[in-house]
Amino acid sequence: MPRNTEPRRALREVLNSAPAPLTIEQILHAARAHSPRIGIATVYRNLKLELAAGSVRRVEIPGEPVRFEIIRDESPFRFVCESCRQVINLGGGERDVDDLLPDGFLPRRFEVFVYGLCAECWAAAERGRRDEVGNRSPGDVSIMEKTRV
């Protein structure tokens, strides 16, 4: 059984308090608040131990760095912000995919990624769009922009 060292406790604390999966860099940065001398090799080593113990899982999002999270429940539905790259668990483990599969198929796991803008990035984009339209003279605004709600 692995020892319960300060860096390992820091890693568990970070993952336990995270609302969504974290990248290695995010884990390292947050763990340093608990254990300032923790290094990247220690994070990798302890993640490997936690993965082997079955308490942590890898979350692989296409085109993104691998992320890790504590296994609490099955939450295969995730939202990925295309601007800030934030990942949010949407839950959804109770949904049954058996009805979607052909007869005789056995699902082992599944994940669904919804891509878009989080509330903060969407608000920033809307402010930017209003600023862009506001900086033009009235003759420069297109018909499409005049009819936007």
Give which of 14, 20, 17 is closest to 89, Cα–Cα.
20
Q: What pLDDT does 137 receive?
A: 41
Q: Has residue 103 got a pLDDT over 50?
A: yes
Instruction: For residue 139, name the pLDDT band (cuts at 50, 70, 90).
Output: very low
Q: What pLDDT does 132 receive?
A: 55
Q: Has residue 21 got a pLDDT over 70?
A: yes
Cβ–Cβ under 8 Å, residues 92 and 112: yes
Looking at the chain, the whole-number percentage of residues with pLDDT higher than 90 is: 36
Cα 59 vs. chain centroid, distance in angstroms?
A: 8
Per the DSSP assignment, residues forming a β-bridge with 113 are: 78
Distances (CA, A) of 105 to 53, 78, 101, 108, 113: 29, 24, 6, 10, 22
Q: Has residue 135 got a pLDDT over 90?
A: no
Q: What pLDDT does 78 receive?
A: 82
Distances (CA, A) of 107 to 2, 21, 78, 87, 90: 33, 23, 18, 24, 20
Q: Is 104 left (phi over 0), alpha (psi -120 to 50) or beta?
A: left
Instruction: For residue 39, name the pLDDT band (cuts at 50, 70, 90).
Output: very high
